[in-house]
Structure 1
Amino acid sequence: MIFERTARFKRAAKKLTAQDRERLAKALVLYERDPSHPSLGVKRIQGTKGIWEGRASEAIRFTFEKIDGGILLRNVGAHDPTLKRP
């Protein structure tokens, strides 16, 4: 599976704590193995066309679009700010 990252995702990921970056990495590995794993809580974001969210931890969310052969990671961070600008 291909994981492409937007510039915004890269900037936001750098702002995460080391612990949150590790959680994100584990969540992406889990997504690659089983996109429907319950701990990821993957669901489409209401009011958008084709933008999805997943959980890296209780507080950290990542947003993405499904593309051919993988996903385009759009944003990552705390729940509310991340989902306001997916």
Structure 2
Amino acid sequence: MQLKAYKKFLKFYKKLPDTIKTKTDRQIKLLADNFRHPSLQCKKMQGKEEIWEARIDLQYRVTFEIIGDTIFLRTVGNHEDALKSP
């Protein structure tokens, strides 16, 4: 699948610690290759039919939506912040 990032995602990504950026890059590559990969633990967000969340690590999440064959990255951050306004 193709990847595209909203400006909001890029803004939050820039603020991540370097170690989390590395993990995020790795997980986003997995997401593009196979969004059902077990380490991502992807699931649709409750109350948000078209928005998904995936795990970066125990504390960080990325939200995204799939339109056609493109994954649009929406937000990234700690669990609470990323899921508060996906």
Which TM bucket (shorter chain)? Answer: over 0.9
Determine the C-alpha separation between the residues in 1 that align with 2:23 and 2:65: 20
SS in structure 1 of the partner of residue 47 of structure 2: coil
> What does 1:21-32 align with in structure 2 at a 5 Å threshold?
21-32=21-32
Identity in percent: 36
In the TM superposition, residue 69 of structure 1 has moved relative to its aligned partner by 1.5
Q: Separation in 1 of the partners of 2:3 and 2:38? A: 20
Distance 2:41 2:47 in 1: 18
- Runs (4 or more) in structure 1 with deviation over 6 Å come to none
How do 1:1-80 and structure 2 match up within 5 A?
Answer: 1-80=1-80
Structure 1, unpaired ranges of 5+: none
1:50 Cα deviation from its structure 2 partner: 0.4
Q: What is the Cα-based RMSD across aligned positions, in Å? A: 0.9
Q: Distance in 1 between matches of 2:44 and 2:59?
A: 18
Gaps of 5+ in 2: none
Asked if the contact 2:64–2:75 (Cα under 8 Å) also holds between the matched residues in 1, the reply is yes
- Write out per-residue CA displacement over residues 9-49 of structure 1, whole angstroms, 9 at most, x where no aligned residue: 00000000111011001001111222111110100000012
Paired residue type of 2:48: T
Give the TM-score normalised by structure 1.
Answer: 0.94
